[in-house]
Every structure is written in structure tokens, then in C-alpha cells.
Amino acid sequence: MQTPLLQELDEQYMIQKFELLIKQAYQKGVEDGQTKFTYPPVLTKDHLAEILQIKKPTVDKLIKDFSFPRLQTIQARYPRDAVFAWIENNTAVLDKYLA
């Protein structure tokens, strides 16, 4: 059983941790907004080269991977949000092309 003082310290500690978590989530959101959403909803090969910091021949190899997101109706165009999600979820595939 905690004393009132220990209980109050626990509550203050939890409040501080919660405030830190909120601040970190906010900063992550700002960073995402500054990187992901500065690009248009539909990306080109030039965008991909810039985002991944690779040369166009490497982009050409990467987009041939069956798992890489692409628009079916427009040739050589890639959905921004799906591309960023793919990058986050496919680091092993990405490393294969960047090696």
C-alpha cells in the first residue's frame, strides 16, 4: 500500500511520461508532414530517386519488383502513401537493390 506522498509522486511521474509521449508523437507527425507530404500524391521516378537518394538506374531496378506499389492506370506513376508504407515495411527488399 502506497502512502499519499508516493501515490502523488507516481501520478506526477505518469503525467510527465504521458506529456513526453504526446510531445514525441507531435514531433513525429511534424517530421512526417515535412517529408512525406511535401511530395504530390502521385510520384514519378524522379521523386523516387530523391526520396530514396538513389540514381535512376537503381530506381528502374527497384520498380520492377512485383511488391513495389504502382498505379495500374498511369504508367511510371506511384502512389505516395503506398510508397512510403512500402519503404517502412520492406527494408530487406530495399536493401537488396541498394547493395
CATH of the domain at 47: 1.10.1660
Predicted TM-score (pTM) of the model is: 0.66
For residue 28, what is its C-alpha cell? Answer: 513525429
- Domains in the chain, number: 2
pLDDT higher than threshold 90 for residue 1 = no
- pLDDT by residue (tens digit) across 16-58? 998 999 899 888 877 877 667 789 999 999 999 999 999 999 9
18 and 64 assigned to the same domain: no
- C-alpha to C-alpha distances, 94 to 24, 37, 68, 72, 80, nearest whole angstrom: 27, 21, 10, 21, 16
Cβ partners under 8 Å of residue 90, min gap 6:
67
The DSSP letter of residue 45 is H
Examine the domain organization and report whether 33 and 45 are in the same domain. no
Distance CA 42, CA 76 (A): 10
pLDDT value of position 97? 81
